[in-house]
Structure 1
């Protein structure tokens, strides 16, 4: 019977901001980490950041890194992963990401409509349905009143 026992391994995930989806916190998805944020990559290749908890004690490793890498502040860059760590960019999106291309094609389509565009029609239908239900209820009440 041991072969029929199923074991489940819980996985910690981060719900990435900006539509990055759920990203598993595992070595192949964590790109970089600092005292303030973690840089993650989702399965599509979208790279984004997630902030560390507010209760995290920042700066506990800074002195060590400055000792080991004394010229790091001079080499601060505004491209790639460094741009995320330095708040220069919010996320990095690979060129040709299919979901972005689909969205742009969809939005540039002249017949494109969102649910917001259909809200007025939906509200009209809700009112008609409500009024029809009220009429049926009223007719039922009249029929029951004429029987009793």
Structure 2
């Protein structure tokens, strides 16, 4: 039997799933949640055992939305469009921290003399590909 329960470890609530087939209790955290579809969730425990957990039969997604709208009238107008809320509302698809180290590296490279990207060299790449393609065709027609 599958079940979801709330565990309190060090006063931090943690949702866990009792995985089927001896998978043990798996916390619902990014490292353990591999994939999710409308029918099931795929989980991996700390030992690497991968299992699936089905959604309840007759589950209707979005059923709670109507209740939420009735309980919190006007929440749509007050809803934020920044952060994770913007992702959920599809106003953006990614949040990138300002302090991301790769962005700092990219900026430092762009400021160096002689900086160029692969995009800057596409024309040369395409010429070389065309030359290679023509050479291959020539070899095949000779054989």
TM-score norm. by structure 1 comes to: 0.38
Q: Which has the higher strand share?
A: 2
**Greater Cα radius of gyration, structure 1 or 2:** 1
TM-score under structure 2 length normalisation: 0.39
Higher RCO, 1 vs 2 (CA within 8 Å, ≥6 residues apart): 1
